[in-house]
Structure 1
Amino acid sequence: MSIGLRTDAEPAEHVLECAAEPLAAMARLAGSGLFGDYVVYERPGSWTFAGGVLGEVVLEAGTVHARWHGLPPSARPWSGRPADALRDAFAEAPPGWNAYGWIAFEFAAPHPAGRLAHLIVPRTEVRVSGGRAHVTGPGAERVADLLAEAGPVAGAPSPVDVRVGGDAYRAKVAEAVAEIHAGRYQKVIVSRRLDVPHPVDVIATYVRGREANTPARSFLLDLGGLQAAGYSPEVLATVDAGGRVMTQPLAGTRAFGAGADADARTRRELENDPKEIFEHAVSVRTSLEELRRVCDPATVQVTDFMTVKERGSVQHLGSRAVGTLAPGRSPWDALFPGVTASGIPKPAAIEAITRLEDRRGMYSGAVVAVSHDGALDSALVLRALYSENGRAWLRAGAGIVGASTPGREYEETCEKLSSIAPHVVPLA
């Protein structure tokens, strides 16, 4: 592969003419060890590697930690809304910043605990699209060398058995269905954790899994020792610099990838199943209600309703809702928890989740790219692998409504886990 290096008019940015596949480019950058903490974030037609730490914000229950280049670190108490705490922390960031990181599911809990968010402003940012790599910050020559390297970037996978823990999960589903019939809530997402029985090569797993998936967004990160790789089926929210908000709720699931005839049959089932249609319709209604709370209500509308989205080993019913931020609202306000990962009504569903499950952390939270100009892009964290302190795990859930059956919902978690379980690469 040949790479030409030139400097644009802006001295801080270099453009590399790059023939490498973006996935391989991201894996080589992540695996180089040159950048310390990093985030890889894929959007349609564009990949970003954010490496090294020029600035950092870590939000914990009651305390926000911030450090900016050239300034002493700070730790300040906060109360009220976590979104306001993040907004205020980034108000002190140096001009022209872009930030990348993750938001925990517990960000939306009424009494949040633990780490709620971790975002970095990178020292080096590499954006790959259209056969070019745009490098901002130091290290352009070394980036060019990495992108010129040939050879494989992933090892052989060792599939993880997803059919474990069925009895315990089915019991939790039955409990949730009973609570729905008792009128405590309409819908709740009940998830299960699947521990991987060996240490994992997270970067290689990301490569293998991305080759087999068709996500709305994908991500790979290593922040503060927590590693994650995932193929998000759903955009949680995007906000452009003009304040226009878009969210894409997914709800309703069937298996995909078993062949044309089988996929067509399960698609017909999905489109005609009353339980799946109801689950999706109430999710869209809730998304519209949330948009109206942060947007000018007159601008809120559905622009794409109940179409089938193919996402790796599963297919979903999906819709798109849009609106424009109301005066006084910020992009951080668009980071409400995904209705397809919590439930309806959300407060009661989130309370149920905290009783039925252990702490979720990143799972069903968000990976976020946000900019000084008000633009934000966030992916719902599903179909992901997590690794910390030498232990790795997967997690998947299903939307439980009154018509749910424990056996079918367990099968749905197996279908979702199969987006990543066959592609897990052991650490050599």
Structure 2
Amino acid sequence: MARLAGSGLYDDYVVYERPGSYTFAGGVLGEVVLDAGEVRTRWPDTGTASAPWSGRPADVLREAFAASPLPVWNAYGWIAFEFAAPRPAGRLAHLVVPRAEVRVADGLARVTAAGPGEAGRLAGLIAGTGAAAPAEPAPVDVRVGAAEYKPRVARAVADIEAGAYQKIIVSRRLDVPFPVDVVATYVRGRAANNPARSFLLDLAGFQATGFSPEVLASVDAAGRVMTQPLAGTRAFGLGRDTDARTRHELETDPKEIFEHAVSVRTSQDELYGICARDTVRVTGFMTVKERGSVQHLGSSVSGTLAPGRTAWDALDALFPGVTASGIPKPEAIEAVTRLDEPRGLYAGAVAALSHDGSFDSALVLRALYKEDGRAWLRAGAGIVSGSTPDREYEETCEKLASIAPHVVPLP
């Protein structure tokens, strides 16, 4: 995947990893770009069109793809956290139907491409020798910014105690003080993480790579939908004895258990709104998931879409992830816009979707972002009534350690 992404064949690309498979989507055959004031589409033969929009953003994306002249398509891209904001601003989504796809699974690569010669060039890259080992990383210091972050946590706790909401995720941005090689960072970071999904993308000059700890929404062509809330965190990778101790703390801490339970309940309620009620199930309740430098309490919530419902309804119901926004969601999202600076892709989603109605999306956490020559990391912590600023700051440091040690400078 790194060889394909770094080949220079395509200015725009998305790499998306699911269990057992990787996909490289290169170039742009079709495109849907959603901004706060306008939706823009580009399709073969029909060209580029733009229009103002109103209503639910998920419905705008649904209509844009329904108008595609392509009978068969797959699309890949990203959705910003502000997609769900009451007063959205900036770019909200960028999804492309690629010119070429390389899917790798079970040791085999399948190549499809729109243009003559493209498939051959891609096959040559796949068959070539392995890419050179990426340069050594330059670890980014995560223990900065406490004086700015902790007061915001305290304000959130005060809001919770006043009854404004039950839970909110307060995050902090960490700027990287040197130019970054995003592709090499993906290689280094993926070797050190075991994500639910991973991704690497460059669309219109915006680059990102990350190791998502949880599935936001996955819908198959038969309408089976699944989400995977993870909430409750302790450090991991500090040695067998320390990991066992922190795991025990995680499984027995009342604050962590409460944080997880209310997140699962919210996900369940969201699926009740779009699924046949008797199909909604919680499985693997509070199973510990090891994700890079941290371990979480995790559960899976699933169901079957009710008649007339589609993957777009699942996106609308589940986005943004409860574990990256808060409870109740509307109040928490509004509070995030006051307590955090604009998030963009952080706590949004990277998604893969298809003409057959299937949809898969990763919650964007444990990621690096780069635009206009500047790179940054971001992490947050779930704030509930039992939270303390010191512990929540420590949790952001633990999460940032999933990627901060693996950031590779440009040569």
TM-score (norm 1): 0.93
Task: Report deviation, 1:152.
Answer: 1.3
Task: Report deviation, 1:92.
Answer: 1.5
Task: Report deviation, 1:153.
Answer: 4.3
2:16 maps to 1:41: yes
Percent of aligned positions that are identical? 74
Amino acid of the residue matched to residue 143 of structure 1?
A: L
Task: Report deviation, 1:79.
Answer: 0.8
Task: Report deviation, 1:329.
Answer: 1.9
Residue 420 of structure 1: which of 394, 403, 406 is its match?
A: 403
Aligned to 1:126: 102
Residue 144 of structure 1: which of 99, 103, 123 is its match?
A: 123
Aligned to 1:60: 35
Aligned to 2:219: 239
Amino acid of the residue matched to residue 184 of structure 1?
A: A
> Structure 1 regions of 5+ residues with no counterpart?
1-25
Are the aligned partners of 1:29 and 1:146 in contact in 2 as well (CA < 8 Å)?
Answer: yes
2:195 maps to 1:215: yes
Residue 83 of structure 1: which of 55, 58, 73 is its match?
A: 58
2:388 maps to 1:408: no
Aligned to 1:21: none
Number of residue pairs matched? 403
Distance 2:133 2:85 in 1: 39
Query: What do the CA deviations read for 1:360-415 (whole angstroms, capped 9, x no partner)?
Result: 00000000000000011100000000000000000000000010000000000000
> Structure 2 regions of 5+ residues with no counterpart?
none
Give 3-state SS (helix, strand or coil) of 2:288's partner: strand
Are the aligned partners of 1:102 and 1:119 in contact in 2 as well (CA < 8 Å)?
Answer: yes
Give 3-state SS (helix, strand or coil) of 1:294's partner: coil
Residue 117 of structure 1: which of 93, 105, 110 is its match?
A: 93
Distance 1:310 1:385 in 2: 20
Give 3-state SS (helix, strand or coil) of 2:270's partner: helix
Distance 1:142 1:71 in 2: 28
Distance 2:357 2:240 in 1: 43
Higher mean alpha-carbon deviation, 186-195 vs 323-332, is at 323-332
Aligned to 1:195: 175
Amino acid of the residue matched to residue 74 of structure 1?
A: A
2:329 maps to 1:346: yes
Query: What do the CA deviations read for 1:295-344 (whole angstroms, capped 9, x no partner)?
Result: 12221121221100000000000000011112222212222210000000
Distance 2:107 2:308 in 1: 40
Are the aligned partners of 1:28 and 1:153 in contact in 2 as well (CA < 8 Å)?
Answer: no
Distance 1:126 1:151 in 2: 17
TM-score (norm 2): 0.97
Give 3-state SS (helix, strand or coil) of 2:273's partner: helix
Query: What do the CA deviations read for 1:51-106 (whole angstroms, capped 9, x no partner)?
Result: 00000000111311000112220001211100000000000121110000001101
Task: Report deviation, 1:124.
Answer: 0.3
Are the aligned partners of 1:27 and 1:153 in contact in 2 as well (CA < 8 Å)?
Answer: no
Query: What do the CA deviations read for 1:221-261 (whole angstroms, capped 9, x no partner)?
Result: 00011000000000001000011100000000000001111
How do residues 15-34 of structure 1 correspond to structure 2 at under 5 angstroms? 26-34=1-9
Give 3-state SS (helix, strand or coil) of 2:338's partner: helix
TM superposition outliers: structure 1 runs of 4+ over 2 Å: none
Give 3-state SS (helix, strand or coil) of 1:251's partner: strand
